[in-house]
Amino acid sequence: MAKDIAVCQYTFTTPAVMAHPNLLKPKAFEKNGKAQGEPKYSAVFAFDANCEEVKAIKRKAAEVARLEWPSVDLKTVVFPWQNGDVAADKRDEKCRQIGREPDGQWMRGKVLLKASSRFPVVLAGFENGRIVTYEDEAKLKSVEGKFFFGAEVLAQITFNAFQSSLPGSLPAINTYLNQVLVTGKGTKIAGSRKSAAQVFSGYAGAVSEVNPMGNVEDEIGAL
């Protein structure tokens, strides 16, 4: 039976801070300065760690995992978010190693969710109090500055269950990026020169203890 994509989609109900946006031109993951894999459109979204939006995102991701693997132990699933404090520590240490001022402070106290797509992402914004979708190339170029590192945005994402055929691979939930709406608010974040690939190079997923009573937030893990 075909999977109902709508069931796997999630639309933000409160704005998140957008980081490392690659929304107008796809970019390949970089390792040691060399492009790896297929270029993709992508962004990272930062939420306050204990907000209701994070809880809802976790519930949706758990629902998608259960749809694919009904009896899966959620602590064995690699979910697509990262503890912002851990990411900030790694980032600041790298800065110190190269004699640069640490710039990972913006990640502290946050949960970070990266989403990407092989295909162009629907981009939109507010103009004269109305939501406008930016479609033609000239318009997209003219509004590129609205989609900056630090902008407050709403987005629609799709969670996808994935199991690699490689020996020892864990079940995972990937996040596809569908749409991004800029609210017109936000503050540009210093240190935005580093790519998401560099910031998240050490990411290995988040797991935690399972609550036998079935509390999804506890079962997936409170980051």
Burial class (CB in 10 A: 0-12, 13-18, 19+), 95: middle
pLDDT tens for 69-124 read 999 999 999 999 999 999 999 999 989 998 988 888 999 999 999 999 999 999 99
> Average pLDDT, whole number, for the chain?
84
Angle at 8 between CA 36 and CA 184, to 5 degrees: 75
pLDDT tens for 43-64 read 999 999 999 999 999 999 999 9
Rounded average pLDDT over 152-170: 92
For residue 197, give the 3-state DSSP assignment.
Answer: helix
Question: What is the rounded distance in angstroms from the CA atom of residue 60 to the CA atom of residue 50?
Answer: 16
**pLDDT value at 138 more than 50:** yes
Q: Which two tokens stand for residue 120?
A: 């162009």
Check: CB of residue 43 under 8 Å from CB of residue 12: no
> What sign has the CA pseudo-torsion 201, 202, 204, 207?
negative
Strand (E) or helix (H) holding 218: helix 216-220
Cα torsion 189, 49, 27, 90 to 10°: value is: 80
- Bridge partners of 162, per DSSP, are 172
**Per the confidence metrics, is the pTM higher than 0.85?**
no
Check: CB of residue 52 under 8 Å from CB of residue 91: no
